[in-house]
Every structure is written in structure tokens, then in C-alpha cells.
Amino acid sequence: MRSQKIIGASRVFICDEGFCILKDGGVLYESLDYAQSGDLQSAKILAVGDYENLTRTYPNAQKEFWHNGVLLPTLVNAHIHFEFSNNATNFVYGDFGQWLDSVIAKRDDVLSDITKSVSQAIDSQLRSGVGLVGAISSYGYDMEALRKSALRVVYFCEAMGSNPSAIDTLFSNFKARLYQSMEYKNTRFIPAVALHSPYSLHHIYAKYVLQEAKKLQTPISAHFLESQHEQEWLCHGSGYFYNFFAHTFGVPNPKPFYTIQSFLEQFVG
Ligand SMILES: [Zn+2]
């Protein structure tokens, strides 16, 4: 059901070109309450201005005013992994290589019992004033919780995998997640595609994934050059990642899939 509401506060940040701050300002918006399906629908801002003026001009609107309150537009968290929110303190932090080794060592436990931590992480974003997230999803385990949440979500289905013999399986799993997210597409839930880092993504798999993104016209995100180790690997084929593939995964004579340039060139067009 549509209804008009005015929310006011003693200071209202407008975020217009002049970054104006209104004293005793208000925002009139049209809210579409929960549809029968349970989906959250978008609310639209109709007017911004002096609170008293707005309440006089729109006498039928519901109103509330926060004395000593500050009304701000929401923040954007452009990159967050809800599926890993159970692991804020479980790993070794500081050096990327030591961190990745500790992730690999504990990889079987990384996703255990994440339902609660995903919902806590969503609450924590909302309580921090975040209204929009770029959610990088490696497995799709956060899809239901996010699409039902009050957050506006750009939902990045992530592709990761460097073993050429596993590409077909990985790609069909990726497509299943992506097409499931397309079913949920609306103004608050925007399906998208993420490539994992150049060290962990086979170039053929990346090509397939980018073709899907192009076909569906989705936004794209990528992890890229997160560490000195990754730069050394892409520029010289040596260092931490050489040992990572040769010793941790037993790949004989490993080589990077890309140069810095060739990774970026995938996104042309
Ligand atoms: Zn990330």
C-alpha cells in the first residue's frame, strides 16, 4: 500500500551539489509497504525542505520529527563478503600470504554454521547506517537472507577456480547461482558478476563468466592486485604464489594465467 510520510530532524544533510545542511528540515517520501509476497519495495523521495513547510503542504502525510537528531543519506559498502562473516578473528592477519595460508588450512570450517553470522552481519550493516551493499558471494549461501533484507543489494555471484579439469563443473555451478539471482532481480536486488583474483581464476573460466555478464548486462567486480605477492606473481611468475601452487597444491612448474595487462584487457567492451 502506498502512503506518504515526512521524516524530519533538527539537521538534515542533503548531499546536493553544495552539500547543504538544513536546520529543522524534512524529507517527504512515498513508501510502498511490504507487498503481499513479502518483498520489500522501493520508497521514493518526493520532496526535501523545511519540516514545517512540508507538513503544511502535505497535511495528510504521516509525520515524525527527531529533536537533536541528524538525518543522513545512507552509506554504501561497496565490497563485503557476508559468507565469511564468521571468520573475523580466525585467521592470521597482516601479510596476505600468511593470511591465505591460514584460510587454506581452515578451509573446511570457513563456511560452517553461517546462517546466524550472515544475519548478524546484515544487522550490523544496517545499524551502521549502510543502505546499499556490494555483496561478493562465493557460494550463494547468503542469497536468500540478502534478498529478504532491508538492504539494497548488488549481488555479485563470484567465479573462482584455477584447475582446468574443474572448469565445466565450476561454470555450471556459477550459472546456477547467477540465474537463481536473476529470478530475484528487482529494484532492491541487482544481480551481478564477480571475478576472483587473477591467481585463482583460470582464464578460460573467466572468459565464460564475462560472456554471461555481457549477455545479461550485469555489473562486474574483480579482486585485483591485493598484495605485493600477487604483483610479483603476475609480473615475474615467482614468489609466494609460485610456492602456493607448487607446494600447497602440487602443480608442476606453475605459471600465472595473466599478465597485469591481459587481466585488465578482458574487460574491454
Ligand atoms: Zn573481497
Render pLDDT for 162-211 as a digit per residue (tens, 0 to 9): 999 999 999 999 999 999 999 999 989 999 999 999 999 999 999 999 99
80 CA from centroid of ligand 1 (Å): 6
Residue 57: is its pLDDT beyond 90? yes
Catalytic residue among 30, 226, 230, 232: 226
CATH of domain 2-71: 2.30.40.10
The grid cell for 55 is 507538513
Domain boundaries, the chain: 2-71, 75-265
* 134, 221 contact by CB (below 8 A): yes
63 CA from centroid of ligand 1 (Å): 40
Q: Which residues contact 172 (CB under 8 A, 6 or more apart)?
A: none
**What's the pLDDT tens digit per position in 73-102?**
999 999 999 998 887 788 888 899 998 998
Gyration radius of the chain's alpha carbons: 23
CATH of domain 75-265: 3.20.20.140
